[in-house]
């Protein structure tokens, strides 16, 4: 399922969302210029290798520098076009409404903290892994978790390709995001059972739940224009589109 757009109106320009997308694009285009060992070494240097942080003696032997920068830089690295495009598209669809609520600076802090939480969860699930964790998925998952809390009443126009036929459906945001989370959970369990992980599923899950919890500390009541109110169990009716 590919989200096309949601129906929660944007109030303020998504300056921070655009900044994050631009930084990811610049980083991706730079890594595409690297060849062979250059690309491999760059990803190991600036991606998060779990064993590097949990097995310091091994990390020293392997030649990793003593640095915590990868905990931040990994969020801006991607393995391919589909990886970066899907992450940035999900951020674009759901991030503007979160930025409305947090403000520009608040969105940046929220995004980074979700990304840090996401990679920490992944490290704990694969402490001995020597494969770099890269991608904005965990941080973007935090944005999606926040959206589920604030806008469960929203609607997401979604492309569902059936063979070669593109079908479009409008799903409640809470259903779309719950289905996405379920896929991550099932995939994480299946790959863990098989003792291999090609995707950092638990980073996605950790980021999503971090977003659900942390958004209550970052939201500004005076900017929560279309948010669900858990106290009154009501919300302002969204305009039809």
Q: Determine the pLDDT at residue 233.
A: 59
Condensed to tens digits (0 to 9), the pLDDT of residues 117-136 reads: 999 999 999 998 999 999 99
3-state secondary structure of 183: helix
Inter-residue contact 208 to 142 (CB < 8 Å) = yes
Q: Domain 2-223 is of which CATH architecture? A: Up-down Bundle (1.20)
Condensed to tens digits (0 to 9), the pLDDT of residues 28-71 reads: 999 999 998 999 999 999 999 999 999 999 999 999 999 999 99
Long-range contacts (CB closer than 8 Å, 24 or more residues apart) made by 40-44: 43/77, 43/132, 43/134, 44/132
Local confidence band at 234 (pLDDT 50, 70, 90 cut-offs): low
Please state the pTM of the whole predicted model: 0.91
Q: Which residue from 166, 173, 130 is spatially nearest to 150, judged by alpha carbons?
A: 173
């Amino acid at each position: 399922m590919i989200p096309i757009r949601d129906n929660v109106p944007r109030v303020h320009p998504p300056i921070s969302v655009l900044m994050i997308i631009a930084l990811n694009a610049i980083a991706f285009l730079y890594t595409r210029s690297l060849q062979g060992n250059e690309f491999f070494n760059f990803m190991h240097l600036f991606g998060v290798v779990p064993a590097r942080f949990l097995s310091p003696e091994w990390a020293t032997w392997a030649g990793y520098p003593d640095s915590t920068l990868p905990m931040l830089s990994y969020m801006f690295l991607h393995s391919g076009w589909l990886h970066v495009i899907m992450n940035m598209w999900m951020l674009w669809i759901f991030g503007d409404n979160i930025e409305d609520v947090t403000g520009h600076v608040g969105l940046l802090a929220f995004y980074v903290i979700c990304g840090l939480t996401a990679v920490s969860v992944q490290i704990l699930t694969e402490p001995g892994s020597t494969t770099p964790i890269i991608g904005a998925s965990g941080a973007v998952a935090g944005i999606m978790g926040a959206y589920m809390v604030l806008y469960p009443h929203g609607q997401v126009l979604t492309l569902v390709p059936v063979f070669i036929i593109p079908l479009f459906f409008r799903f409640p945001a809470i259903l779309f995001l719950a289905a996405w989370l379920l896929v991550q959970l099932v995939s994480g369990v299946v790959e863990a059972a098989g003792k291999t992980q090609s995707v950092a599923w638990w980073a996605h899950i950790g980021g999503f739940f971090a977003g659900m919890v942390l958004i209550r500390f970052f939201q500004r009541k005076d900017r929560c224009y279309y948010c669900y109110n858990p106290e009154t169990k009501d919300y302002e009716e969204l305009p039809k589109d």
